[in-house]
Structure 1
């Protein structure tokens, strides 16, 4: 029995002795393959780093060139602005020198602008804010020295001419109106300074009447009156400004009736 165990141990020892070199050889091959793979990975990573480094330098170079170009543009703009400011100073000085000989014109112009603004506000509500804004621009340009007293006088005179023309003008226009508590862009049929009819995008029609507190856009619901107003808009659309038209009693100065 002892002999049998000894024989088995001897056999195992011989087998292990024979297998051990094979294990060592296999481990060595795998290690070599692993090292080769790692070397390949390192080379790939190095190539990527080199490529990214080149891209980074190219981007930095491009950004640097863009920065230089932008700085040059800024310098040109600053130079142009400086020249424009200098030119503006010269023009203002020239305007001031020209206006000094006619100082009495400026108070007259300012007074006339104020009177015309009141007239526009009290008159038929046609493009009121736009017309007043043009008067304010004349006033601000005059006070800022951007126009001469004579130029301001000419512009004021033209504004008076425009106001007179408005009292006679008949035609179709578009303007924003206050209707049913909302701002609405409506079509306007203006008959001089006598009457002003409107038509909303929802085909609601009416006319303007003057109240003690200002003007009101009165909505018309009577089918016959609606038909008359629609006929007026159609005629003006066809450039028909003369002839007989039957219209509702829409005189601006009719009061609250």
Structure 2
């Protein structure tokens, strides 16, 4: 009887141990999950806190920038108002100073018109820039930004510059209308007599005036090309005197 009782007891004990182990395993996994979730929550809370601090710092920085920009705008606005007021005062002073020489103004304006016409009809050298300078004198005079005497002085200087251009020999760069395109070319100017050009693609030629229009004539003859290249080389070396054989490139060639 004792032996039979022991055989029944062992299976029951093993079953109890296995059941206890199965019950303990889910509880341990649940505890680990709770710990991990708590860690994740703390990490998220830390990130939120850091992002909030970063956002507050950015907002503070932007607020300071806005305040600084508004201050700069106010300073600029004040500066513009002061400049405009000063400009008005200068205009009044100029008008008062020039009131005794009102007869000079129409003479100056007429002289500027004559000079502008002369520049446009003359050799096509820096025409746009030179005419723009004359327009500035005229506009400043009409807006009372300069006195009549100052305008007369500037006009006289412009006439001197025009005379200098008619005598000047040298190399320059300017935009030309070559084959229907605006090209920045090197210019060899011989006073007001002749003007040769060389494009960035090494095409050469000279200016002629036909039917009151200036044209940039392209040269393809090898002998004439060599003559023009020799001229450019000499001017590049600051050689402005001597004997040069050149193509027939007088500005008035072919004029009617």
Q: Assess same fold via TM > 0.5.
A: yes
Per the alignment, residue 122 of structure 1 pairs with: 121
Per the TM alignment, residue 28 of structure 1 is displaced from its structure 2 partner at its CA by: 2.3
Residues 72-109 of structure 1: per-residue CA shift (max 9 Å, x gap): 22222222222222211211111121122211111111
SS of the aligned residue for 1:253 comes to coil
Per the TM alignment, residue 18 of structure 1 is displaced from its structure 2 partner at its CA by: 6.5
Residues 27-51 of structure 1: per-residue CA shift (max 9 Å, x gap): 2222222222222211111111112
Distance 2:217 2:20 in 1: 112
The farther-off stretch of 131-140 and 229-238 is 229-238
Q: Which runs of 5+ in 1 are unaligned?
A: 1-11
Distance 2:24 2:17 in 1: 12
Q: Measured at CA, do residues 116 and 31 of structure 1 come closer, stay the same or move farther in structure 2, by a change above 3 Å?
A: same
Contact persistence 2:212–2:255 (CA under 8 A): no
Provide TM-score, normalisation by structure 2: 0.88
Structural mapping, 1:218-257, within 5 Å? 218-255=217-254
Q: RMSD across aligned C-alpha pairs, in angstroms?
A: 2.3
Per the TM alignment, residue 147 of structure 1 is displaced from its structure 2 partner at its CA by: 1.0
SS of the aligned residue for 2:252 comes to helix
Residues 163-206 of structure 1: per-residue CA shift (max 9 Å, x gap): 11111111111111111121111111111111111111222221
Per the alignment, residue 159 of structure 1 pairs with: 158
Per the alignment, residue 170 of structure 1 pairs with: 169
Provide TM-score, normalisation by structure 1: 0.88
Structural mapping, 1:74-93, within 5 Å? 74-93=73-92
Per the TM alignment, residue 227 of structure 1 is displaced from its structure 2 partner at its CA by: 1.8
Per the alignment, residue 7 of structure 1 pairs with: none
SS of the aligned residue for 1:196 comes to strand
Distance 1:122 1:256 in 2: 12
Residue 58 (structure 2) pairs with residue 55 (structure 1): no
Q: Measured at CA, do residues 249 and 18 of structure 1 come closer, stay the same or move farther in structure 2, by a change above 3 Å?
A: closer
Contact persistence 2:174–2:187 (CA under 8 A): yes
Distance 2:177 2:151 in 1: 33
SS of the aligned residue for 1:252 comes to coil
Q: Which runs of 5+ in 2 are unaligned?
A: 1-10
Per the TM alignment, residue 23 of structure 1 is displaced from its structure 2 partner at its CA by: 3.5
Per the alignment, residue 189 of structure 2 pairs with: 190
